[in-house]
Amino acid sequence: MIWSWIPANADRILALTVEHLRLALIPVVAGLLLSVPLGWLANRYRVARAVLVPAAGMLYTIPSLTLFVVLPGILGTRILSEINIIVALTIYTVALLVRSVADALAAVPGLVVAAATAMGYRPARRFLDIELPLAIPVLVAGLRVATVSSISLVSVGALIGVGGLGEFFTEGFQLQFPTEIITGIGMIVLLALAGDAVLLLIGRVLTPWNRAGGAR
């Protein structure tokens, strides 16, 4: 480990970190936005669940490098386009979250929903104001897993030339320079831990009633 390499390359580390976060976090946000309506469908209609949940499981089974490599042919993008990585990781996020959302919505107590209906909530408002907030803890748990895996998986993209901090792995391998690889691993683990902590915090802030409930 040559420590002086890190300050000497601070600019590049920063630039790749920004690229890495862009590649990892856009899919998490897009995946979340897509999986809420899909999860709602899966929870509401049995047929939708019978299709969506196994399909999500199958998509999650496909190794990431495979998706990265195949997507240009399907999307018509260039192989070096960031879109391939973003779409692939969005697919993984949706695959992970659809089930979380469906399970979280199913776990909302029926009496609470009935009470909201009795208070005059219409279905759309009831979903946004009552059911979705109550689903937050399970949703955040799923989102934390999705975020951490997304941050880690971006680096595999380095094999096809777009991998954020993963570039340090392929370059460090070719130059036989471990310092670069260790820096990449360290940064990725730090980003993942930070992302995890931020989501944990957001989850706490969004569910004040869980703390007000007192010691359990």
Q: In the complex, which residues of this chain contact another protein (CB under 8 A)?
A: 57-58, 61-67, 69-70, 72-73, 79, 145, 148-149, 151-153, 155-156, 158-160, 163, 166, 168-170, 172-173, 176, 178, 181-182, 184-185, 188-189, 192-193, 196
Listed in sequence order, the residues at least 6 apart from 167 whose beta carbon sits closer than 8 Å to its beta carbon are 16, 158, 184
Asked if 117 and 21 touch (Cβ cutoff 8 Å), the reply is: no
> Closer CB to another protein, residue 66 or residue 210?
66
CA–CA separation, 113 and 133 (whole Å): 12
CA–CA separation, 126 and 123 (whole Å): 5
Least distance from C-beta 148 to another protein, angstroms?
A: 5
The backbone torsions φ and ψ at residue 208, rounded to the nearest 5 degrees and listed phi first, read: -60, -30
Least distance from C-beta 132 to another protein, angstroms?
A: 26
Least distance from C-beta 114 to another protein, angstroms?
A: 26
> Closer CB to another protein, residue 41 or residue 59?
59
Least distance from C-beta 94 to another protein, angstroms?
A: 17
Listed in sequence order, the residues at least 6 apart from 28 whose beta carbon sits closer than 8 Å to its beta carbon are 89, 93, 143, 146, 147, 150
Least distance from C-beta 120 to another protein, angstroms?
A: 37
> Closer CB to another protein, residue 22 or residue 44?
22
Question: What is the identity of the amino acid at 123?
Answer: P
> Closer CB to another protein, residue 4 or residue 61?
61
